[in-house]
Structure 1
């Protein structure tokens, strides 16, 4: 909510900013502040309070959303997130950054850090005289109230289970004006029936304030769904607090003492006795009608369970074994000649469907949207733009795309390298962009989408593109390629992925140490993915990462290739073809294509690719599987025949054997044999590699 709201404000002209967006950002910071206060995280509370003050100036219209202001607010959001992580992990943080931002927030909000710190800490505490004031705990933190609000508040068991305490809510209310707190203990059961984890109290709060009801509800936003809340405005109500000239300040740093609300009436400001304020609603007995409201408040809450990721991994592995077991049973049924028995087939189909449903639901546990990853990259880009002195606009697309959690975690480092390179190497300085007729503000776009059964993540910029003559010369100088090598544009671009390659003239905080893009390639490769780069001089560069949707189970087409059983990911297959002789055409001396409607598609003989036999002279007796890569390139994979379509469990080869070009992973079939899972795009590239010189084999492997 915080990052999204600030981004929306940044991208919207100042006079068109939606006030509700500013309010939502303010509420997000306020909620963080409330949660931090509940756990005594003073540094986080102090920074959030100053941040909140600046946002309050913006929502009141006294602070405009200029570029300079939004830059400070975005950096403050990043620092606030860092403070949350520091509090969670109990680690250290650069305090100078926070101090600098506190000063800048104070400047744009027209306040001082010292004043704000004092406001957060509160004044000196005095112990209340419960003998003189037995009926109420009075607070006076602000000017005379214009309206009086009656608030009836009761907590559910979940409020306390989440580590919350009503006293912190009352403290926040007291900052809005003059507050009186009374507690009803009538619902407290006998000791034998007492549940220590439950809540039996109802609080009656009388608040005199000039703020609106919305501001009061924002205080309770942090515990929404974990309490019962009724707010009533009472214009002209009597002042039941202590007399304004002698306010009683109560230390709200600890829970208020329980006071018997049915005790003797309280003295008024003249010393006379007056009746107590209206009593709270009927007390809540356990399981009785009075407990309906908190029960209903919590009824819409969908509980969550935090589970160790290792347990989820073990569950996924067990599901994988279940899928293998289902394949074994299917093979046994076929070998035993029971495939014609309706009962056996029916039971086996039911087992298969249940196994698939379990697998899909278990994998859904691991599936997460890439939005948090994209938000993290936004912070990386802001840091890179500050270091480089370039003004950059960050755009995202496809944030709802879901990817396996493991994939997301392992994408952080590669994407960090790519984003930094886009800012440091891709985008030009402002004066260079002006001379080229471009806007001074550069653009970096991060997108994600599902394509051809894989996840495609792209980082593009509108910079100067790759300087290919320079890249080629550097590769020659470093001895990475022979001087006489004749390279295509695509092959020159791939030089960037060679270990030790760098175009930076000097080492900076962003780049220049000769590591980065090779790390990107190896990291993506270890995930079973591929990385490609495309560039247009003067217009920009796009780097694409293609990844498998899941790392556990996939739907595959089981095929026969020269007597070997292999698996093709079903999501990569567009259609299957049985070509006729007139559909096959010879290209040059060593290639053939098949006519598919209005296009010609290169034929890749998998038997030849993996060295099982020479290239076939007759594809009419074979089956062609039309597949598509993440870059919209198409090939027709030639196989001898198709066995069936089934779910297969992915078993990686990297750790146990090593990388095999053209092979994504392996699986175990129902008969116990191992079958290779083919990477269609990499298999096609193996054929292309055979037609180039040995010096270029290294580039083709990239």
Structure 2
């Protein structure tokens, strides 16, 4: 039996954390680019890169350490105020973040990093540091060697650091490994390690989850104090640490470490290392004492004899003044999170779906039994239904994720495409906190990538054409997300020249997609962009021109139970709108009856219901009827005839009309025989077994075990209105 590698899980956790740090880095850079940044924004960016470097060093990921070290050096120049984060600088930082993301993924998959992709950006980063240093030197007048130089001074030839290190239990549970930390420290110079075994109990009293060991490390190195401290910053707050220097160099200012107060040198040498009342410093830096043992921040412990080494026990390293416990400030901790395998969540979702079906079957059985409403069984069933609803909502919240991570990936697509076509582009995002089912987010990446590239490639004009049209030379792509009518709507907008509809129609005629001279509305011409093989690009490039793209986009979105539409204004731009269900698992629906068949209409698509009245119906041509409602007309469809369940009725007296709406706009009306109830249904996909059927979104299982189709009424109305013949929306007045 193969023993699992204990480091594999820790390594995987590190790369998950890298994704979170990259997200924080992208957020900070976006704020920097907007001009609304403050000092904390720069600190967030710096800490993200620095944390990745620290973790990479623990795992021996040299490529990641090298790049992140150069990157954080430049960010530190911004923190120190020596480098102004202008637009061009932030763009370079964004490119560096993209490369850093690539190196993280290469390291995760154990793939080699291509130097040609990394070195040019590294040289640009180094050039920024050189320029900042030259500017700083030019501004300094009357420079004296003993005055302030670099924050930590120039490293001497030989320095000896005595490090006392005691891990807390949380250090191990957070995935850190001491072997890698000590190995990284040994790379700085010659190192001697002595364990402190004074707190190790006997075997029968040993707590396996306690941290009993401590170490004393003597490091001889030509590096400065900052580089020694950096090795421990990745475990900051997870250990008790004392670093003292035994010769030559003065103690470095604590202000150079984030989150620590500045160090002053009082007359009393013990006060120089004593922590403030109520606080225990993460790092205790003691002043050198001319080769003698550094002064401890607590009274020394008694030793076994005069020859015993002066090793500090765990209490010696960490003891606080007695008053510190009461005076210690309360710290607000971040919310605890647990990473769970997605397969486990999927299984939980499936089980909740089965629970919903069983609850519906139980409700059906109780209804058929005719029990009174005050019966304990009926009341218990109502409680069970509410509990089922709460469980389903909670599980859906677990699967829901903000679209922010997807939007950040698309920001890189914009930058890469902009550089490839030579068009300056500003990328604006809105609604990044909008939550969508994780499955929907993952499957949206490819279609949105196509749409973003198309928008940059030939949606936006060239800079000179934009200037001639009175627009800024820099184009703008806006990506937004929002919840509307129980669905999520994602829009990709550009401020380009809009769709050239005469050219689109001419190309469609040349390729035989439509009949020459065919009369078409703007919406019909726009729909040609989604036809397989259609392309307005004359030459094939790396980005477009092969005739595959928008048809794939539409198919991918339809597979998700969604719709895509286009609106465009010549000279002003184009907007692609994608409407998707919030989840692919459960929805609230209205159970209706048509020709003896049970169907489910999503609640979010129903604006209102009304009784059928013959006096409200108007005929437009031999086949089309419209419903007159509140001084306007909407198309009217007999659902039974539309689905082929029966022939059109001579009279629909006694029927019910469902007004269908899309994002608040009434699109049409459906005639059904009866409405039974509103209930929660589990979505079962039909695409794999039966393909796409117009107007049919999925299927479900009702309480009596009957299979019912889930309709997509908006798609059904769109298909009906697109059929040859008079279009009701065009012929009928809208009031």
The TM tier, using the shorter chain, reads 0.7 to 0.9
Aligned-residue offset at 1:84? 1.3
In 1, Cα distance between the equivalents of 2:675 and 2:216?
Answer: 74
Q: Distance in 1 between matches of 2:664 and 2:499?
A: 19
In structure 1, the partner of 2:526 is 493
- The separation in 1 between residues aligned to 2:228 and 2:619, in whole angstroms, is 78
> Which of the numbers 20, 31, 43 marks the counterpart of 1:8?
31
What residue number does 1:235 align with? 265
Contact persistence 2:436–2:582 (CA under 8 A): yes
Partner of residue 610, structure 1: 643
Q: Given that residues 455 and 549 in structure 1 are in contact (C-alpha distance below 8 angstroms), is that contact kept between their aligned partners in structure 2?
A: yes
1:535-582, CA deviations, whole angstroms, 9 ceiling, x for partnerless residues?
111111111111111111111110112222110111222322235555
Corresponding residue for 1:106?
126
Question: CA offsets per residue over residues 116-158 of structure 1, 9 Å max, x none?
Answer: xxxxxxxxxxxxxxxxxxxxxxxx99559xxxx9999753323
CA distance in 1, matches of 2:648, 2:227: 76
Alignment pair present for 1:419 and 2:452: yes
C-alpha contact 1:283 1:290 (8 A) present in aligned 2: no
Shift of 1:476: 1.3
Number of aligned residue pairs: 629
Instruction: Provide Cα deviations, 1:41-86, integer angstroms capped at 9, x if missing partner.
Output: 1100100011111111112222122232122110001111111122
State the alpha-carbon separation in 1 of the partners of residues 612 and 227 from structure 2.
71
1:342 deviates by 1.2
TM-score, normalised by the number of residues in structure 2: 0.76
8 Å CA contact 1:150–1:234 kept in 2: the answer is no
CA apart distance, 1:20: 1.9
Instruction: From the superposition, tell whether residues 513 and 280 of structure 1 become closer, same or farther in structure 2 (CA, over 3 Å).
Output: same
Seen in structure 2, the aligned counterparts of structure 1 residues 67 and 340 have a Cα distance that, compared at 3 Å, is closer
2:688 is paired with a residue of what secondary structure?
coil
Q: Residues 521-560 of structure 1: matches in 2 within 5 Å?
A: 521-560=554-593
- Which moves more between the two structures, 47-56 or 341-350? 341-350
Residue matched to 1:652: 685
Separation of aligned partners in 1, 2:687 and 2:323: 62
Shift of the 276–283 alpha-carbon distance from structure 1 to 2, 3 Å rule, reads: closer
The answer to whether structure 1 residue 436 and structure 2 residue 469 are counterparts is yes
Per the alignment, in what secondary structure is the counterpart of residue 635 of structure 1? strand
Match of 1:58 in 2: 78
CA distance in 2, matches of 1:355, 1:481: 52
User: By how many angstroms is 1:195 displaced?
Assistant: 4.2
Match of 1:347 in 2: 380
User: Residue 45 of structure 2 corresponds to which residue in structure 1?
Assistant: 25
2:203 is aligned, of 181, 191, 204, to: 191
* TM-superposition CA deviations, 1:311-336 (whole Å, max 9, x none): 32222112111111111111222223
* Secondary structure, counterpart of 2:665 in structure 1: coil
1:689 is displaced (CA, Å) by: 3.2
Return the match for 1:515 from 548, 568, 574.
548
Cα 1:161–1:595 shift into 2, 3 Å: same
Any idea what SS the aligned residue of 1:511 has? coil
Q: Deviations over 1:277-332 (max 9, x none)?
A: 998646889xxx99999x99999465544333223222211211111111111122
Give the secondary-structure state (helix, strand or coil) at the position aligned to 1:655.
Answer: helix
> Is 1:680 matched up with 2:710?
no
Give me the whole-angstrom Cα distance separating, in 1, the residues matched to 2:204 and 2:713: 70
CA RMSD in angstroms, aligned pairs only: 4.2
Residues 594-624 of structure 1, C-alpha deviations (whole Å, 9 max, x = no match):
4544654433332232123455565663222
Alpha-carbon spacing, 1:220–1:370, altered in 2? closer, same or farther (3 Å):
farther
Shift of 1:454: 1.1
- Structure 1 residue corresponding to 2:59, chosen from 18, 27, 39: 39
Cα pair 2:605 2:662 within 8 Å, conserved = yes
Corresponding residue for 2:662?
629
Q: 1:262 to 1:369 in 2, by over 3 A?
A: farther
| Distance (Å, rounded) in 2 between the aligned partners of 1:517 and 1:616 | 40
CA–CA distance in structure 2, aligned partners of residues 356 and 214 of structure 1: 55
- Aligned partners of 1:227 and 1:298 also within 8 Å: no
Match of 1:251 in 2: none
The CA deviation at 1:189 is 2.1
* Cα pair 2:59 2:180 within 8 Å, conserved: no
* Shift in Å, 1:99: 1.0
Distance 2:470 2:186 in 1: 57
Q: Single out whichever of 187-196 and 379-388 deviates more from structure 2.
A: 187-196
Q: Distance in 1 between matches of 2:41 and 2:121?
A: 22
Q: Does 1:450 align with 2:483?
A: yes
Query: 1:122 is matched with which residue?
Result: none
Q: Distance in 2 between matches of 1:214 and 1:593?
A: 78
How many angstroms does 1:587 deviate by? 4.9
Runs of 5+ consecutive residues of structure 1 not aligned to the other structure: 113-139, 208-212, 247-259, 268-272, 695-702
Of residues 78, 102, 127, the one that matches 2:98 is 78
Change in CA separation of 1:9 and 1:151 when aligned onto 2, cut-off 3 Å: farther
2:351 to 312, 318, 334: 318
Q: Answer yes or no: is the 8 Å Cα contact 1:501–1:514 preserved in 2.
A: yes
The residue aligned with 1:401 is 434
The one-character-per-residue Cα deviations of 1:411-437 (angstroms, maximum 9, x if unpaired) are 111111111000001011111111111
* Distance in 1, Cα, partners of 2:289 & 2:421: 59
CA distance in 1, matches of 2:368, 2:228: 72
Secondary structure, counterpart of 2:472 in structure 1? coil
Structure 1 residues 614 and 55: alpha-carbon distance in aligned structure 2, compared to 1, 3 A threshold: same
Cα pair distance change 1:182/1:689, threshold 3 Å: same
Name stretches of at least 5 consecutive residues in structure 2 with no aligned partner: 1-23, 133-151, 220-224, 243-259, 273-285, 293-299, 728-735
Distance 1:171 1:142, change over 3 A: farther
User: Offset of 1:462 from its aligned partner?
Assistant: 0.4
Q: Tell me how far apart the structure 2 counterparts of residues 91 and 607 of structure 1 sit (CA, whole Å).
A: 58
SS of residue matched to 2:689: coil
3-state SS of 2:719 partner: helix
Q: Deviations over 1:232-290 (max 9, x none)?
A: 7452447654869x9xxxxxxxxxxxxx98769999xxxxx9x97998646889xxx99
Aligned position for 1:126: none
Q: Which deviates further from its counterpart, 311-320 or 450-459? A: 311-320
Indicate how the Cα distance of structure 1 residues 346 and 52 shifts in structure 2: closer, same or farther if over 3 A, else same.
Answer: same
Tell me the SS of whatever aligns to 1:656. Answer: helix
- What SS does the corresponding residue of 2:636 show, helix, strand or coil? strand
Q: Work out the CA distance in 1 between the residues paired with 2:466 and 2:305.
A: 77
1:379 CA drift (Å): 0.6
Q: In structure 2, how many angstroms separate the alpha carbons of the residues matched to 1:390 and 1:228? A: 53
Q: Which position in structure 1 is the counterpart of 2:422?
A: 389
- CA offsets, 1:175-196, max 9 Å, x none? 99xx999986543322333345
**2:722 pairs with 1:689:** yes
Q: 1:493 to 1:193 in 2, by over 3 A?
A: same
CA contact (8 A) 2:54 2:233 kept: no
Q: Name the counterpart of 2:88.
A: 68
